[in-house]
Chain A
Amino acid sequence: MRHRRILKTQISSTIFFIFVLLSVIFGKAPAYGESGVSHEYKIKAVYIYQFINFIDGWDFQKEENKNNNEPIVIGIIGKNPFNDAFEPLKEKTVQDRKVIIKYFSGFSELKNVDRENMSHPDTEKIKDCNVLFICASEKNYITDILSSIRNDTILTVADMQNFLEKGGIINFIIEKNKVLFNINTVAAKRAKLTIRAKLLRLAKKIIETDQVEKQ
């Protein structure tokens, strides 16, 4: 009887020992860190694709351009936080057009920037973009970037404070671990873009005035 009890205790402790060992070998700390960031930018990448469907006024929507097969261009300026988040979207089409992603060095990375005129060497290529995501690395150059494309039909998107106040159109925010967005309708109007009611309804906050408007 005593032997059986000892044997049972030994078997239980061995099973517990194996359980702990396997958990230690294969276990991993909660995914708040690195993978959280990657999910965040995967979500933002999909958002950017989806935004295109809710906005009118693009050049490719015009009657004369309807039959050309020019792709929609999403530009990313600055230190790219997306890594390969856009890769799975490569094959997808938006409004029957292919989407290509172009990456531009930011002012923060360029060494030979004309500090007085703040002109980007790729300004013309940037102007060809339909959507421009301005990375957080460019937060000190937001005004310069936005003013260089002020008269162009480009949807400007970012995820930094005061982006909309400085004249950006859509800004991502994080609230309760979810990616939401705010919209600046005045900036959209300046870019000759019309944001559909559905997107406006989904926005967390809509601002109708900004610093550019006040100037």
Chain B
Amino acid sequence: MRTGLVKIIITAFILSVTTLWNGAGAQQLMSNLTDDSVAEIYNMEIEDLMEVDIRTGKPGWFETQLEQLRFEPVVRYDQASLDDGTGHDIKRSTIGLIYYPNPELHPIFNFRISQDFVHDDGTGDSKHEFVAQCVIGF
């Protein structure tokens, strides 16, 4: 009961701080942190400019929809050749999803979930892993 009350008080406090944080100065500061799309726009040819969504600064329907949802899909395959005489290499495939609540803080603050399929961990074994991460960069 007491823990619940403490959580509500902390949330209320953080909500008030957030209101201030989202003010003009902080917004400007945050928007200056990173904006890869801007660099892309400045190198575009005229045909590509016609495809850029003014809300996101990015071309393409799919990319724009993902940007609006703030999700980024991840598909990865890793292979490391080991010279340890076992004849096994590390082979791993990953599929996952990155969720970023704030597009401007995307690289330094996001949540990730992924399913790792370890086909060979270097010893001949295989296993699957589910990973949930919260990334906070400084």
Contact = CB atoms under 8 A, between A and B. Distances in A.
Contacts of A197: none
B22 interface: yes
Q: Identify whether the interface residues of B are mostly helix, strand, loop, or mixed.
A: helix
A177 B54 contact: yes
Given A178-B52, A178-B54, A179-B50, A26 B105 contact: yes
Contact of B49 (A27, A32, A46, A54): A46
B50 A180 contact: yes
Nearest to B51: A178
Interface in A179-208: 179-180, 199, 202
Contacts of A39: 37, 41, 52-57
A17 interface: yes
Contacts of B56: 31, 39
A31 B49 contact: no
Contact of A19 (B10, B52, B104, B134): B134
Contact of B41 (A37, A42, A174, A202): A42
B47 A202 contact: yes
Interface magnitude class on chain A: 35 or more
A34 B104 CA distance: 13
Nearest to A21: B14
Interface string A42-77: 110011001000100000000000000000000000
A22 B102 CA distance: 10
A50 B49 contact: yes
Interface centre among A36, A42, A174 (most CB of B within 10 A): A42
Contacts of A19: 111, 134
Nearest to B30: A28
Contacts of B62: none
Interface in B72-123: 101-105, 109, 111
A179 B52 contact: yes
A35 interface: yes
A34 B54 CA distance: 11
B101 A36 contact: no
A112 interface: no
Contact of A50 (B21, B31, B46, B109): B46
A34 B42 CA distance: 19
A174 to B, nearest CB: 7
B54 A179 contact: yes
B66 interface: no
Contacts of B52: 39, 43, 178-179
7 A-B pairs with the lowest CB-CB distances in the bound complex, closest first:
A27-B101, A39-B57, A40-B54, A23-B101, A28-B102, A50-B46, A36-B55
Interface of B: 7, 10-11, 14-15, 17-18, 21-22, 27, 30-31, 37-39, 41-42, 44-47, 49-57, 64, 68, 101-105, 109, 111, 134, 136
Given A39-B54, A39-B57, A43-B57, 19 more contacts: A18-B134, A23-B101, A25-B14, A26-B105, A28-B102, A28-B104, A30-B55, A37-B54, A39-B41, A40-B54, A43-B49, A50-B45, A88-B38, A89-B42, A178-B52, A178-B53, A178-B54, A179-B49, A202-B47
